[in-house]
Chains A and B, each alone.
Chain A
Amino acid sequence: MNAQPDDKREEDLVKRLLLIIVLSAIFSVGFVHKSPSSSLASEGTSSYQNHDPESYMVSQTEQKQEETEEKSFDDDLDFLDEEEELVEIADPIFYWNTAMYHFNDKFYFWLLKPVTRGYKWAAPEIVRIGVKNFFYNLRFPIRFVSCILQGKGDAAGSEFCRFMFNSTVGVLGFGNPAKHCPELTPSEEDLGQTFGRWGIGNGFYVVWPLIGPSTLRDSFGLLGDHFLDPVTYVNPTEAAIGITAYDTVNKTSFRIGDYESLKEGAIDPYLSIRDAYIQNRKKKVDE
């Protein structure tokens, strides 16, 4: 009698493994066909924090010129040399991506936002913060494994101590007493960043329904993260989906307005979000 669910679980696992294998195959093929522009993008280095100071040396004469020209527009384009190459990303599946962008946009405004608003009204902030902390703590394996794979021993140690500390003193992670110790708050790592650290380029831009912006590399990262996420192993699958949905609503309750702001300032929200995603991920990989 008891053997049946076990069998089912095994079958489930086999299916999942097959999925990984198939996707890995696509992954490797994807890299063989990596376009030249994407390899360029992956080679562009450094965020605003590690500029070459030499490139900022500018002669005094230019300063004076600037002052005399104040009335008309200053045509000095030196900044183009000062900045590193613009991080561009290949977008070969643009039509799929735009369609998914519109789908996600509607999903946010028509469903996620109203639901989140209701939830935010009903749940006090202290509860929402507790839930957010709980899920962050629960996903410790993703960060821990990523730190190890990046060779960040200290950060892995911090993650481990933080997990132990918040799970006990912080009562299963609902509290976050570790936030008071800076050494216990390493930056949040994931497998996509790990691949980036290893020198794997973004590949190309992908927008997933419900998940949002990603790249080929980060999609594989997400897939790996999925298997390191304890929520994945909740049975039945419906419950796991429910938990993920709740986590999403709870997380969104802290971010209502962010997406709106980004869209308000943009003249082409699709391009703006694509660039913002790439710039933000690059910073995270560099950290």
Chain B
Amino acid sequence: MLKRLIPTVTLIAFLFAGGTAAAGEAQDQLKTSIDRILALLADETLKAPEKKLERREMVFKVLRERFDFAEMGKRSIGRNWKTISQEDKKEFVDAFSKLMQNSYILKIERYSDEEILYKGERPKGKYYYVYTEIVSGDKAIPIAYSLHAKGNNWLVYDVNIEGISMVRNYRSQFNQTMLKEKFAGLMTKIRKQLEKLESQMLEEQGA
């Protein structure tokens, strides 16, 4: 009886695992990436102004491995996604990921003495939510990450800060912009903001 049961259980286990990332790994994988970024920021050898550019590139690399910017962008555009061409999609995803990375780096370069608490994770269908809190001084900001599986990796497709979903926030901006100015207007606005951020990054690089 037992001998027959074991292969059955193993088979079932395999069916469920089915090549996708195993549940429960979402938080570990996210934590590994965040820890790597925090380590880069704390690294004394990277703190010199002339090393700033190098450090930024290293942070971006970790970000791109854990954040699915294409998915984020697609969700931010929402319903209109199907109406734009493949080339436009590529152009948009490239600009959007740059916008995300650049605004993220400016943010984390500004804050330094914060601690991240992991408040647990929760599966929801094929997704996973990881709840964290950023504690700086005496205030704690709740940040929830939404992750989906791609191969063996859990990738972030939305970040929720104090109840504000980033994807939904972008969608409200993108929807309105595309309604009035179409896709071209949206790209103009994204590029303009990117230029602003890039000049700001150059400025802060010298500081």
A48 touches B165 (CB 8 A): yes
Q: Which of A48, A67, A125 contacts B129 (CB 8 A)?
A: A48
Q: Which bracket fits the contact residues of B?
A: 35 or more
Instruction: Decide if the interface of chain B is mainly helix, strand, loop or mixed.
Output: helix
When C-beta atoms are compared, the residue in chain B nearest to A82 turns out to be B125
Main secondary structure of the interface of A (DSSP, over half): helix
CA of A213 to CA of B193, assembled, Å? 23
**Quick check: which of A24-32, A56-64, A110-118 contacts chain B, the rest being far away?**
A56-64
The answer to the question of A129 belonging to the interface, with a C-beta cut-off of 8 Å to chain B, is yes
Kindly state whether residue A74 has any CB partner on chain B within 8 Å.
Answer: yes
Cβ of B177 within 8 Å of any chain A Cβ, yes or no, is yes
Residues of B within 8 A of A63 (CB): 18, 20, 126
Residues 11-70 of A contacting B (Cβ, < 8 Å):
47-48, 51, 53, 55-58, 60, 63, 66-67
Q: Mark B152-184, 1 if CB is under 8 A from A, else 0.
A: 000000001011111011011111110000000
A276 at interface, CB cutoff 8 A: yes
Interface assignment of A275: CB less than 8 Å from any CB of chain B: yes
Task: Kindly identify which residue among A57, A77, A86, A179 contacts B172, using a CB–CB cutoff of 8 Å.
Answer: A86
Q: Which residue of chain A has the shortest Cβ distance to B75 in the bound complex?
A: A79
Known: A58-B126, A86-B168, A254-B137. A272 touches B173 (CB 8 A): yes
- Given contact pairs A56-B124, A77-B82, enumerate 12 new A-B contacts (beta carbons under 8 Å): A48-B160, A53-B125, A58-B125, A66-B150, A80-B79, A264-B200, A267-B189, A268-B173, A268-B177, A272-B172, A275-B168, A279-B165
Binding site for A on B (CB under 8 A): 18, 20, 70-71, 74-75, 78-79, 81-82, 86, 89-90, 93, 99-100, 102-103, 106-107, 110-111, 124-127, 129, 137-139, 144, 146, 150-151, 160, 162-166, 168-169, 171-177, 186, 189-190, 192-193, 196-197, 200
